[in-house]
Chain A
Amino acid sequence: MASALPITIRNVTKSYGAFKALDDVSLDVRSGEFITLLGPSGSGKTTLLMTLAGFTRPDAGSVRFGEDEILLTPPHRRGVGMVFQNYALFPHMTVGRNVAYPLKLRKVSKADVAERVGQALDLVQLGHLVDRDVSQLSGGQKQRVALARAVVFEPRVLLMDEPLSALDKKLREQMQIEIRHLHEQLGMTTVYVTHDQREALTMSDRIAVINDGRIVQLDDPETLYERPRSRFVADFIGESYAFPVQVDGQTAAYAGRSLTLAGPPDSAAREQLLVVRPEKLRLLAADEPAGTLNVIEGMVREKVYQGESLLLYVDLPDGTSIATRQSTQREVLDRIPETGQPVRLGIDPQDTLVVPAEDRAA
């Protein structure tokens, strides 16, 4: 098994003219951790990954694998495995020779090469395709070969650049689980880049959300989803709606009602945004007591039946329109009001979050 190394990224900055691709980024990746860099295109996530691989030269900063500073090391001496977005398999080599390539460069003996290539291909369930031409493989098979090639030389760090974006949805979901299992088996420190928030939530130990060249939040998937700390993160991860409230300590005032917050907010500002996720809102029956739930009232604007759930669009008193996702269990369906009727929505104080009204440079 490869020995996993922690990665220490300090103050890495990279500008292209006036555009800051990386703006003083610092990040600690623990040894053996699966960390995902998540962000919209142009956010700097790929620039950061390419910096780790050695294909982008930053203007300043430090990157260490364990104790070794690697920023000044050329890419071919960094000993990192990388899976490229378009696989980057060598078309003039067979599957087996592709996987053997990094071993041959390391002067591994012939017998060992054959054995390790076999093991790596077995790991991705392609042992039977050793002699196949790369051009004869399907997209999913190519991605597996690329994966085998990236791990066969037991790199200290594994990097993946949107490796699944070219695959169809079903295969993608299957590969997410496979890569996750592979990571558990091999235990390499892994940095994964994607713009797909669902993929990030499924696979990662922790997710670094990147926007405008900065890490805006670094947390485990659950915290990131349940406790976004900015409007950007709430929007980018999953679905969310926001409307302005007046915050005072641990309560927020909205349309004459007082809402209890999950905890003291990050910002002391009075005007903040209440962020709700569609599935966190509970439809209350007309006479149902709210109990400890915070209550928001509104008017049903539209109902969209989607099979496993129903989207209920609600207009709030201040004109904001939000959506709530309701289960299609019979007892819930039966109490959904008609369009134009008033509706009471309950939300657990634990799910009642406020974020600063304006993100930095949003």
Chain B
Amino acid sequence: MSSPAGAAGAGAPNVAELAARGRAEKLRIFLLSLPGVLIIGVIIFVPVAWLFGLSFLEMGGGLSLVHYERLMHPSYYLTFQTTFELSFLVTAICVLLGYPYAYVMVQATGIWRSLLLVAVLFPFWTSLLVRTYAWLVLLQRRGLINNWLVGSGIVDEPIRLVHNFTGTAIGMVHIMMPFMVLPLYASMRSMDRNLLLAASNLGASPAKAFWQVFVPLTLPGLFAGVILVFVLCLGFYVTPAVLGGGRVMMWSMQIERSIAVYADWGAASALGVILLVVTLAILAAMTRIFGMQQLTGNR
């Protein structure tokens, strides 16, 4: 055995070599991650920076705040309001439907659990556009739902289910549901079942065990789902465009219009920047309130 601690002085063996090995290892790790870092940089940070820059350039090319000034106009304010109202509503409905669904999924066993899981995942395997048009077919004036409602005498006249706020919300809830259910399911799955037994053993009725133990411990999954759905809703384009029929103006549609109709990249960029900033602000606020660990789901 060699002499113990404090031997790192000049006489200690292999000091320089071991340090060199350590540096070489760090270099290797850096080189291995370099392609990934570069790709992320090129496809995310560069375009965002470019977008940011464009939003401060006027048509002629000079620096100005003209695009942001224009956003003060009431029509933009209305779009902003619609976007948030719709996103809140869709998120809330997703919570109300998704939580019980995930709960049933966790309780189910064997083939039933698989079926429920497939039902959630199935939309992922079909095109977003196809699903959206399918809703158009279902919800239209002479669609399946209205035919049934009229046929069974529940309503006298077909009701307007599409090309309005309602239809847009229905379609978006459907599209967003997996993003709510999957994180919820994951957090419910990973919860220790013994905790519910312990609550029951200590005197909690099933309802109390659910509200005092089960729900608090699945909040991380709920927050993750809420943030995913809400943020995705804020920037949602296809479904509101098709099911809203031009009557529901989302922020993303305003951006599209700026480019497609007015070819105004500066205005579109300014809208994009605002959406990005607001989204980040919401994420930051949520993180501040609930703590990052809760959002990422690990404790």
Contact = CB atoms under 8 A, between A and B. Distances in A.
Answer yes or no: are A and B bound together in one complex.
yes
Contacts of B192: 86, 88
Interface in A56-104: 74-82, 84-86, 88-92, 101-102
B194 A92 contact: no
A90 B213 contact: yes
A75 B299 contact: no
A245 interface: no
B107 to A, nearest CB: 16
A153 B202 CA distance: 8
B126 interface: no
Contacts of A76: 200-206, 209
A105 B213 CA distance: 13
Contacts of B206: 76
Interface in A126-146: 135
A78 B195 CA distance: 17
A149 B216 CA distance: 20
Given A84-B194, A84-B198, A91-B299, A102 B203 contact: yes
B203 A88 contact: no
A53 interface: yes
A72 B128 CA distance: 52
B217 interface: yes
Looking at A74, A76, A78, A135, the one whose CB has the most chain B CB atoms below 10 A away is A76
B194 A88 contact: yes
Looking at A53, A54, A92, A149, the one whose CB has the most chain B CB atoms below 10 A away is A92
A305 interface: no
Contacts of A86: 192, 194
Interface in B181-223: 192, 194-195, 197-206, 208-209, 212-213, 216-217
A170 interface: no
Nearest to A75: B200
A55 B196 CA distance: 11
Contact of A153 (B203, B216, B217, B299): B203
Contacts of A106: 203
A80 B201 contact: yes
Given A86-B192, A90-B213, A53 B201 contact: yes
Nearest to A85: B194
A75 B201 contact: yes
Contacts of B203: 76-77, 79, 102, 105-106, 153
Contacts of B209: 76
A183 B190 CA distance: 34
Contacts of B195: 88, 90-91
Contacts of B216: 92
A176 to B, nearest CB: 22
Nearest to B203: A105
A293 B194 CA distance: 54
A41 to B, nearest CB: 17
Given A105-B203, A105-B204, A91 B198 contact: no
A149 B192 CA distance: 18
B197 A102 contact: no
A147 to B, nearest CB: 13
B299 A135 contact: yes
A87 to B, nearest CB: 9
A85 B209 CA distance: 20
Nearest to A99: B202
B271 to A, nearest CB: 41
A84 B197 contact: yes
Interface in B7-59: none
A149 B299 contact: no
Interface of A: 53-55, 74-82, 84-86, 88-92, 101-102, 105-106, 135, 149, 153
11 contacts: A55-B201, A74-B200, A76-B201, A76-B204, A77-B203, A84-B194, A88-B195, A90-B195, A90-B198, A92-B213, A105-B208
Which 7 A-B residue pairings sit nearest by Cβ, starting from the closest? A88-B198, A102-B202, A105-B203, A88-B194, A75-B200, A82-B201, A92-B216
Given A90-B217, A153-B202, 5 more contacts: A76-B203, A82-B197, A84-B194, A88-B198, A101-B202
